[in-house]
Structure formats: C-alpha cells, structure tokens
Amino acid sequence: MQALLEYAIVGGVLYGIFFGLVAVGLNLIFGVMRIINLAHGEFVILGGFGAYWVSHSLGLNPLWGLPLAALGAVVIGFPLYYAVVPGLQRSRDPEMLSFILFFGLAQIIDAIISLGFGPDQRSLPDEALGGGTISVLGQAFPDSWWVAAGVSVLAILGLWLYLTRTRLGFATRAIMANRDEAYATGISVDKVSAIAFIIGLALAGAAGVFVPYLQGSVGPGIGNSLTTTSFAILIIGSLGNPVGTLFGGLVFGVGSMLMQTFYASWSDLVPYVLLVVIVLVRPQGLFGKAVRHA
C-alpha cells in the first residue's frame, strides 16, 4: 500500500512536471494574444513526429527533435501569426473566432499527419534516452521520464527568466496586462506577440518529443485530449505565469497517477473533472488574482 502510494507520487511528480511543459505554450499564447490555440495538441504531436523522423530516418538521437521543434516553430509560426492573428484581433469577437479558426487548423494538421505518416501510433526506442532506470524512494522509473522532467523544468525556468529578466519579456508581460496600453507606450505589439507565438509553438513541439516516452506512443487523433488537458492545467495554474503552469501540471500529474494506481478505469476522468470544477469554482486559477477575462 505504501509502496503503491510512493510509486504514484514519484511517478505523478515526473509526469506532472512534463505536463507542465505540455501546457506552458498554450498558456503563453493565451496570455499574450487572448487566443486559445485549439491546435495546441496537434503542435505537440508534430513535435513527436519530428522526433520520430529524426530517430528513424536520420538515425539520430530523438533529442535532436528539440532543436527541430524550435526551427519548425519559426518556420510555421512566423507566417501563421501574420496570416491570421492581427486580422482576428481586429474582428468582432476575437476570442471565439480564433477558437473556431484554430480548431479548423487542428483538423488540417491532423489530416496532414494522417496522410503523411499514416494512422499508426509511433514509439521511440528507450535506449536513446539512457534505457536504464533511476530510483527514488525505491521506486524505479525509466531514464526517459527523468530526462523529460529535467528538460521540462529547464524549459519552464528559461521561459520564466525570459519573461522576468529580458526587455522583450517585460514587453511581453506588458501586453499580457493590457494590450492597448502596451501599444500606446510604444511597444511593437505585433513583433513581441509573434515572438511569444513562436516560443509557444516551440515549447509545444519540444513537449511532443517526449510524448512517445511518457504516453507510450504518439499518433494522430490524440491532439484533442492533449489540448483539453493542457487547458485544465493552465487554468489550475492561472494565466500568464509559467511557474503556475508547472504547479498545475503537478496537480494533474499526481492526481492522474493516484487514480491510475488505485482506480485505473476512472483515471481518464481526472483532467476533465479538474477542468470543470476549477472553471466553475475558481476560474482565475489557484494562483491568479481575482480578475477574469472570460
């Protein structure tokens, strides 16, 4: 019993830290642009397929999927931002219309992945990230889980430093606080937002590299559940705060693992129940101030 509990908690912490990374890109984009990137889960999947391609076709370590994700985010994100975001922000109902537009985009990406790679689930070799296990409290987890959690912490920390220690980060936070005032103070809102958009996509793609390890495999069709789970996590952790998202990931991860250990068939409910309850009881998130931009 105690061993099971320890297993669930250690596993939940690793799993949760990783899910902090899965969700943090969605948080950044929503915080800065007030746009719900409903294709977020699909960008995560693209990252996973990138890693698969790097590992299978080029024979490299799947970790090369990380720089590939960053490159892909620039190549896709830059034109995508200028094609749709400024137009949406001038429209009648930016939040809802962007929601629908990105939902369409999710369908496009999903279809392209299915057409390009086939509908199969893909997995990656364990040996590439060590292949052994590391134990804490006598609970052994594969090296890949520890690598994923380590990269996630570094990425989230990096984002936090960017937002709190750099000029661009200050500008980004100013836009999060009030877009119009940021504009009035001479911040080039579009440029800073485009960079935030690209960072958000890059973080999603980077998370995707580890999805085959943490979830067992990656394939088209899991995008929706990744997006909803990310949304639940970002709401738990409150908007605009990457450290809050990490915390939200931990709540989700430990909750999920406890359910999986003790009531396995109900564990899929965790993100959805968390989402509905938090959105109703405390929509500003556990860390957020009592402001709601719903």
Partner 1 sequence: MRESWFKRARAGLITAAVLALVFSLAPNVYNNSSLLFMMMTYIVLSQGLNLLYGFTGYLPFGYVGFFGTGAYATALLVMKLHLPIGLAIAAGPIASMIVALVLGPLLRLSGAYFSIANLAASQILFIVIGNPNLQDITGGPYGVKIDEVYNPTASYAAMVVLVVVVTLIATFFRRSRFGQGLKAMADDPVSAEMSAIPVVRMRLLAWLTSAAVAGLAGALYAWNLSVFYPDAVFTLEISVFAIVFALFGGVGTVLGPIIGAGLLYALYNAIGISEPQYFQLIYGVLIVGLVMFLPEGILSLLTRRGINVF
Rg of the chain over Cα atoms, rounded to whole angstroms, equals 19
91 lies in the site for partner 1, by CB under 8 A:
yes
Strand partners of residue 218: 122
CA dihedral 38, 39, 43, 46 (to 10 degrees): 140
Residues 50-79 that bind partner 1 (CB under 8 A): none
Identified binder of partner 1 from the candidate list 58, 79, 93, 132, rule CB under 8 A: 93
Using a 10 angstrom Cβ sphere, with 0-12 exposed, 13-18 middle and 19 or more buried, the burial of residue 250 is buried
84 lies in the site for partner 1, by CB under 8 A:
yes
Nearer to partner 1, 13 or 101 (CB): 101
Instruction: Report helix, strand and coil shares of the chain as percent, to nearest 5.
Output: 75, 5, 20
Rounded least distance, CB 270 to partner 1, Å: 10
Identified binder of partner 1 from the candidate list 9, 105, 209, 257, rule CB under 8 A: 105
168 lies in the site for partner 1, by CB under 8 A:
no
273 lies in the site for partner 1, by CB under 8 A:
yes
187 lies in the site for partner 1, by CB under 8 A:
no
209 lies in the site for partner 1, by CB under 8 A:
no
Residues 27-46 that bind partner 1 (CB under 8 A): 36
Site string for partner 1, 219-248 (x = CB under 8 A): -----x---x--xx----------------
Strand partners of residue 8: none
CA pseudo-torsion sign 190, 194, 200, 203: negative
276 lies in the site for partner 1, by CB under 8 A:
yes
Identified binder of partner 1 from the candidate list 108, 140, 154, 184, rule CB under 8 A: 108
Identified binder of partner 1 from the candidate list 58, 100, 154, 184, rule CB under 8 A: 100
Using a 10 angstrom Cβ sphere, with 0-12 exposed, 13-18 middle and 19 or more buried, the burial of residue 60 is middle
Rounded least distance, CB 94 to partner 1, Å: 10
Rounded least distance, CB 218 to partner 1, Å: 17
d(CA 143, CA 124): 13
How many alpha carbons fall within 13 Å on the CB side of residue 258?
12
| Residues forming the site for partner 1 (CB under 8 A) | 36, 84, 87-88, 91-93, 95-97, 99-101, 103-112, 114-115, 224, 228, 231-232, 265-266, 268-269, 271-273, 275-276, 279-280, 283, 294
